[in-house]
Amino acid sequence: MNKLQSFCLLLVLFLATNANAQKTDVGNWFLYFGNQKINNRWNFHNEVQYRNYNFAGDLEQLLLRTGIGYNLSENNNNLLLGYAYIHSEPYIAGTDEKLNTNEHRIFQQFITKQQFGRVNFQHRYRFEQRFIEDDFKMRARYFLSLNIPINKKAMDKNTIYASAYNEIFINTEGNYFDRDRIYGGLGYCFSKSLKMELGVMSQIQQNSSRTQFQIMFFNSLPF
């Protein structure tokens, strides 16, 4: 059994264990993250998130995000200005009917990376201006993630790695706490520029919480 087959088997067992342990409805998010290097300083970010109330087909939200970034130092300390379009289909409470809402979002963010031994950290600070139908809101977000290679010392080709993150969302007015996301999963590096992860995320809000499976693909192939 090669490393990729071993990785797939681990992921199947991991997801099956979590699915059996979950007593409430579980959704699934398909996520694509592209980060293309333009030159030593500039980069282009592109992202698609297809979020479902079930495994697939019952749309919760479609998110399209893009932006242009600039590295303050070589391959690190990235400032980015971006735009996002979000189409949401929330259920009307107590019914099987849905609403349709559209949001246009402008955001600014700063990402810095650190490495301590085999542990790779990433900090992301994001500020959003949200235009939701006839409403306007602002929100701050802090995201901390880590990746730890398992079968190798670095995130090279054919590396299996553990991944985790926590992201907290803070509103600028009203109820300041918006939500918190806690994630854990396993990933596989097809190369230094292509990797995939499968994992479980718990999203905690003011009066509710929900578990989501996540299938993520990362592409950092340069132009």
3-state secondary structure of 6: helix
The string of DSSP codes covering 78-92 is: EEEEEEEEEEE-PBP
- Within 8 A by CB and 6+ apart from 2, the residues are none
The amino acid at 126: R
Cα–Cα distance between 84 and 64 in angstroms, integer? 6
Per-residue pLDDT tens for 30-73? 999 999 999 989 999 999 999 999 988 899 999 999 999 999 99
- Domain segments of the chain: what residues? 3-219
* CATH fold group of domain 3-219: Porin (2.40.160)
pTM, two decimal places: 0.88
The angle subtended at Cα 141 by Cα 171 and Cα 31, nearest 5°, is: 120
pLDDT for residue 6: 56
Per-residue pLDDT tens for 144-157? 999 999 999 999 99
Res. 3: pLDDT tops 60: no
Q: How far is CA 146 from CA 114, 121, 142, 194, in A?
A: 9, 5, 14, 17
In terms of DSSP H, where are the helices of the chain? Answer: 3-21
